[in-house]
Structure 1
Amino acid sequence: MNKNMLLLFTGAALLLLVAMPISFVLLQAVFPQLNSGSFAAPFSAFARLFADARFPGLLTGTLQLGTGVALGSALLGIPLGALRGLFALPFAALWDALFLIPFLFPPYLAALSWMLALQSRGYVEQLSAIDLNNLLFSLPGMVAVMTLNVFPVVYFAVSRSMAASGSRLADVARVHGAGPWRAFWRVSLPLALPAIASSLLLAFTLAIEEYGVPAALGTRSGIAVLTTGIEQRLADWPIDMPGAAGLSVVLVAIACVAYALQGRLTVGSNVETTSGKPVPVVPRPLGAARYPVMLLFTLVALLAVAMPLASMLVTALTRTLSGGLQWHNLSFSHFSALFDRQGDALAALGTSLGLALATALIVGAVGLLAAWLVVAQRVRFARAIDALSLFPAALPGIVVGVGLILAWDRRFWPLTPYNTWGILLLAYCCLLLPYPVRYVSAAIKQIGSNLEAAARVHGASAAQGLRLILLPLVWPSLLAAMMMVFAVASRELVTSLLLAPAGVETVSVFVWRQFEQGSVGDGMAMASLAVILTLAVMLTAIKLQNRPAR
């Protein structure tokens, strides 16, 4: 297979996985009568959408949630990240591992765990007689739950950035008369500003794209956001496809505006050292601040990690919720029920694992080819391939779900994956494609082009150079990306809820429906198994990615 064939295959895969669902969302939003084959009354759906009395509330709720989570993540992530990056923090590796767990913990599971802990007669009230139900089911409660789940993206970005720049330049400022705070604000913080801006943007977009937390907490508090509004238009009769498509376009537009705003705010803010030499990383001792800092890290770890995990595990081990936190109420009956439920739980687990494995293999192959064509080969359509392969990173899962429904629920298709497990596979592949593209692109840039060029000089074709030289070198990064894809796909919620056909159930759908049916213990037992599997796979992937190159 030559390079042109690989280019054709990659282009066709990107058009199928990314361009097709997004194009149908845009077409349906612009032409509301598209389902009947008519292009009449273009843009009229937007007029109805903006005139809808519910739209301002959806837009306001989304912006408030995203802004609140971004600010909360900044308040937690920046100070903790600065302490981790600039100082000799005791048990630093332990804190990194602990703060990785909330980001790997599915947000909808975190929301359900906090519900069980803080709602009336929940675990906190049983232990302390403090009722935090009203706080949980409010906008600040939603922001707090999402912040504890998302802040690690800011923490890791800031800590890695400040660790890379080190404290040497700040020490130089101190020598020339600057105080510690002035050195931090004028030297250390500007060096980390690009990382801070990009991580806060990611926190904002993760918050506005989330469905599980608003659906679990916002429904009972009367707070609606765009994601729940889209789902409602698809779930309630009559189904409002133009309205769902219009809200999807608005949601994507908000994410794109956030990216553009972040770019404008950081223009001219990049700070580089001019010594031409790597800056040594010399963490400073904490001194007298050692114990207050340790206390701060401990409190955050308790809130972000211990509380939701303990709530989930206690519920899975509790025979009945009404029995409360009593020794005689503890049992493994819910775990046993997973294997006694006429195969439903095992079927859901098998479906999720099978789809996750297929997704990892497909996006691994497509991502490898896309990164190779863009970075190593610099083919003619490199910019288009790069844009299509990375664009899903800005796409909410619910928008991808809407696009796939609009694209494949058509009478003119002789064969369609709609209403089969294939539609879930397409959704997962679209959403998770950026993982291998980013990992492999970074690895190829580190390798350079000399080895592949040498192979070409000795008669190897481009495809042979990819298979025999480049693939073995980038394999650790590609494998790590595929394992990340496997772990994330095995727990994906929103597209699974939208697209899963009758008789096909994934782990996330099983857990969500157990809560809706009141079988909370069975749901949390399945969630415990899923979290253990996800954490094991993702931690292995991160270990592979961070392994020193040979």
Structure 2
Amino acid sequence: MNKNTLLPVFTGGALLLLVAVPVTFVLLQALFPHLDAGSFSSPFSAFVRLFTDAQFPTLLGGTVKLGLGVALCSALIGIPLGTLRGLFVLPYARVWDALFLIPFLFPPYLAALSWMLALQSRGYVQQLLGIDLNNFLFSLSGMVFVMALNVFPVVYFAVSRSMAASGSRLADVARVHGAKPWRAFIRVTLPLALPSMASSLLLAFTLAIEEYGVPAALGTRSGIDVLTTGIEQRLADWPIDMPAAAGLSVILVAIACCAYCVQRAIIGGKNVETTSGKPTDAVPKSLGRWRYIVIALFVMVATVAAVLPLASMLATAFTRTLSGGLSMGNFTLRHFEALFDVQGDALGALGTSLSLALFTALIVGVVGLLAAWLVVAQRVRFASCIDALSLFPAALPGIVVGVGLILAWNRSFWPMTPYNTWAILLLAYCCLLLPYPVRYVSAAIRQIGENLEAAARVHGASAAQGLRLIMLPLVWPSLLAAMLMVFAVASRELVTSLLLAPAGVQTVSVFVWRQFEQGSVGDGMAMASLAVLLTLSVMLFAVRLQNRQ
């Protein structure tokens, strides 16, 4: 095989294996419910059965309500805070950025479990303040509250960066010509940030409808069902209903795609560009007498979103028993000691998660680098297909990827299969996290341009040599940052681990989840504390590395 075609063929094969295979089997199983028997009869009958199922309106309604509620609450929190951060001189701005990054990096299922310990009956809030918020927590409003605190940083960072880039100079011009402050903000400043707002709210909606951990932890006790828990139920309860699980998976992806179309329609024709002579720096304004009120607002949000769930998690990890309450006499280190017990399962779970995360980072780093290079720098044939396959997992819920891998590899015609081995988890993680290096490396390659690699080709270097000797060293900081992000996210992934982990294999997330199910809450939160410390450290280092680049 020609060396010039080897890399495109390898990249295309890897993308087909990681992305196309599970997605194709989900679609085939949804369209042809008797696919397991090798029959293509009764097409679309699974959808007919789903649409006539009495539970389907509940699942669909719960999913849409949850997504819209989280998007709305994220907007109510993120847009005002982002506007203040972008347009004004905010004291301790970098501190707030770091604190608001923590909830987004905090695994949603751990946030839900931490809020359960804090707000449920006889929880920490009731012990300290005498307020019982159990009924609020285990309700749709409680689920929206927990998830919005986890997701709003997406909106905050998008709005703050957009506002900071555009500044208030044009709004000042409008005020000079007679516009009142609010009118200038609504007619000038806000339209400039509208694309960023719409994109971030779409992401908040998508993250909410794709989440499994929060609905599974809170929704099951309040009778609120969503599509993700409905899919898991059809895979876990006997008899297993693969066609229904595949059909619900397709519907979930379709909702995410519809949300994307709505976002495109909202901002269509509304992209606003500014044209002026010399570029000028955006100078933020002083908060003046509102300074301390704004600081109090940021303190309140940071405390609720970041400090309280972390405090709840750590309090449980260092507490002997929940019934003993918050007292020095109930303080213990035994839960952490149990993690390092050689005869226990914790060390094995930690080792499995770290190993899978490391291999995932290496694999998606290589595939992502090649995909971005072929699409952006080489512009090979079928570049659009490579680009679509490499970025499509960003729209795939984790539970859909898990269903696809079960359907794809649990087949008798395969001579070898990764199903029921740790390799199936590796495939799932690689599929879900592939967009990270593709996006990071694509942005870095676009900044570099084409001249250096073209000069190398003129002097006799092959495409592979240009990639290895020129492009890789230049994009390495961005690639390393992406791989670190992949490592951190893979080490805490929950839903595919629950679906695909073979008997006797536990990851950190599965270990924590099982400890809660078994009532060993302290051991679970001790492991969660280690996982969060590792995740936050790696991801913050990755963000810092990327910002420096």
Alignment of 1:103-252 (within 5 A): 103-252=104-253
8 Å CA contact 1:165–1:280 kept in 2: the answer is no
- How far residue 277 of structure 1 moved from its aligned partner, in angstroms, is 4.3
CA RMSD of aligned residues (A): 0.8
1:447: which partner in 2?
Answer: 448
8 Å CA contact 1:419–1:499 kept in 2: the answer is yes
Deviations 1:418-460 (A, max 9, x none): 0000000000000000000000000111111111111111111
TM-aligned CA distance change 1:218 to 1:42, over 3 Å: same
- How far residue 461 of structure 1 moved from its aligned partner, in angstroms, is 1.0
1:538: which partner in 2?
Answer: 539
- How far residue 191 of structure 1 moved from its aligned partner, in angstroms, is 0.7
1:419 aligned counterpart, secondary structure: coil
Q: What is the alpha-carbon distance in structure 2 between the residues aligned to residue 194 and residue 393 of structure 1? A: 19
Q: What is the alpha-carbon distance in structure 1 between the residues aligned to residue 113 and residue 548 of structure 2? A: 35
Deviations 1:65-114 (A, max 9, x none): 00000000000000000000000000000000000000000000000000
1:336: which partner in 2?
Answer: 337
2:548 aligned counterpart, secondary structure: coil
TM-aligned CA distance change 1:279 to 1:63, over 3 Å: farther
Greater alpha carbon shift after TM alignment, 462-471 vs 60-69: 462-471
Greater alpha carbon shift after TM alignment, 1-10 vs 88-97: 1-10
Q: What is the alpha-carbon distance in structure 2 between the residues aligned to residue 532 and residue 179 of structure 1? A: 48
Q: What is the alpha-carbon distance in structure 1 between the residues aligned to residue 427 and residue 279 of structure 2? A: 44
Matched AA of 2:492: R
- How far residue 341 of structure 1 moved from its aligned partner, in angstroms, is 6.0
Deviations 1:41-87 (A, max 9, x none): 11111111111110000000000000000000000000000000000
1:359: which partner in 2?
Answer: 360
2:264: which partner in 1?
Answer: 263
Greater alpha carbon shift after TM alignment, 264-273 vs 312-321: 264-273
8 Å CA contact 1:168–1:280 kept in 2: the answer is no
Matched AA of 2:273: E
1:39: which partner in 2?
Answer: 40
TM-aligned CA distance change 1:302 to 1:183, over 3 Å: same
Alignment of 1:393-432 (within 5 A): 393-432=394-433
Alignment of 1:516-527 (within 5 A): 516-527=517-528
Q: List, as ranges, runs of 4+ consecutive aligned residues in structure 1 with deviation greater than 4 Å.
A: none
How many residues are treated as equivalent by the alignment?
548
1:91: which partner in 2?
Answer: 92
- How far residue 181 of structure 1 moved from its aligned partner, in angstroms, is 1.1
1:4: which partner in 2?
Answer: 5
Contiguous gaps of at least 5 residues in structure 1: none
8 Å CA contact 1:165–1:279 kept in 2: the answer is no
Aligned pair 1:528/2:526, yes or no?
no
Greater alpha carbon shift after TM alignment, 176-185 vs 419-428: 176-185
- How far residue 159 of structure 1 moved from its aligned partner, in angstroms, is 0.3
Aligned pair 1:58/2:59, yes or no?
yes
Q: What is the alpha-carbon distance in structure 1 between the residues aligned to residue 342 and residue 191 of structure 2? A: 57
1:546 aligned counterpart, secondary structure: helix
8 Å CA contact 1:164–1:279 kept in 2: the answer is no
1:472: which partner in 2?
Answer: 473
Q: What is the alpha-carbon distance in structure 1 between the residues aligned to residue 279 and residue 439 of structure 2? A: 24
8 Å CA contact 1:29–1:242 kept in 2: the answer is yes
Matched AA of 2:402: G
8 Å CA contact 1:166–1:279 kept in 2: the answer is no
2:493 aligned counterpart, secondary structure: coil
Q: What is the alpha-carbon distance in structure 1 between the residues aligned to residue 62 and residue 421 of structure 2? A: 34
2:340 aligned counterpart, secondary structure: helix
TM-score by length of structure 2 reads 0.99
Deviations 1:471-491 (A, max 9, x none): 111000000000000000000
Contiguous gaps of at least 5 residues in structure 2: none
Q: What is the alpha-carbon distance in structure 2 between the residues aligned to residue 459 and residue 527 of structure 1? A: 53
Q: What is the alpha-carbon distance in structure 2 between the residues aligned to residue 474 and residue 459 of structure 1? A: 22
TM-score by length of structure 1 reads 0.99
Q: What is the alpha-carbon distance in structure 2 between the residues aligned to residue 393 and residue 101 of structure 1? A: 21
Greater alpha carbon shift after TM alignment, 461-470 vs 141-150: 461-470
TM-aligned CA distance change 1:509 to 1:278, over 3 Å: farther
Matched AA of 1:289: W
TM-aligned CA distance change 1:276 to 1:395, over 3 Å: farther
Q: What is the alpha-carbon distance in structure 2 between the residues aligned to residue 212 and residue 108 of structure 1? A: 4
1:498: which partner in 2?
Answer: 499
Deviations 1:369-427 (A, max 9, x none): 00001111111101111100000000000000000000000001111000000000000
